Structure 1
């Protein structure tokens, strides 16, 4: 039989990957995670203090454990600490952002962004120690070297990005998800193939000493507004 028609192999869940917890412990752990992740904020004022590469690598390994369509893991993280590359990205991003704020976005979008105080100036792209360009791979090579189509790429990349944000926050780093529109310049600067699509430019490092966040960003919808139980 071919690999496509043979029966899949299974293995028991390895311990301690899953261990059932008492209900009180479940509640305490769920609350502890909520209490921690609720303190993550989008930062736009970064320090240039260096962050060791191995910390970023560990967080990326955490992101790589995310579930994905057919377990193809259709993501690639281009990690940039080089000053000249960060400069190129800033210049290209600001060029797109000037067009965005000058009319490409439309009045409704600009109005929605107003409470956040964003504009076309993106100095954090050079100041922060690390930029992580997150790409979705429409196709990639399998372990046997065969090029294959990937499935549920946007969904898979989004989940991995969530894992990465949580890991970076747990490590004690600030984050910013930047989405210049369009982002095709990232593929060229990072040397990615045409079948890779840039989704997010994630900025990470220490916040600047006097960093602030918009008050509007602290407003989160209540559970009753974001969930329905049946």
Structure 2
């Protein structure tokens, strides 16, 4: 649960490559992704993926939404290069380099905004402000879903989580800034999101989100 306020190791190509190598081996990740897919309507026209990494989540979304335009946003040049390879030749996908620590650029309005294991690198104050910016960027009736690494409720459950990931405390990402799913769900409600809930959870992995009022 180490946290370093001004550090994000994903700025380095080495760290980005390590993450991409192990991303498919995160236990139960595909379960959370499958539930996320259920909450995104098939008729969405524009999708924003915050912290897209190599574009994995956006690519999954577009399998059954091939006509949707997508913006893949990330601040890591290495991650964006991988996403560029994934979406090579796809005119409906735009790559945007941007650090989530900074206010979101004006990219228009979106029917769905998603994120996967990215926002927990922001400070708690920035997380809450970012959720307000996401709300503003959604079209009426738009959906926000965040598949995220959240704080554990106890030290014992954290140890269990690390054991199941086959890592030790020394292997933890020092740029993690974790907070409970309960706190983040409360923030979304306070901002004005409707139908807010934690839709899926396994130990420190959680999917939560809501919709913007029509």
- Please report the TM-score for the alignment, with normalisation by the length of structure 1: 0.24
Larger Rg: 1
Higher strand share: 2
- Please report the TM-score for the alignment, with normalisation by the length of structure 2: 0.25
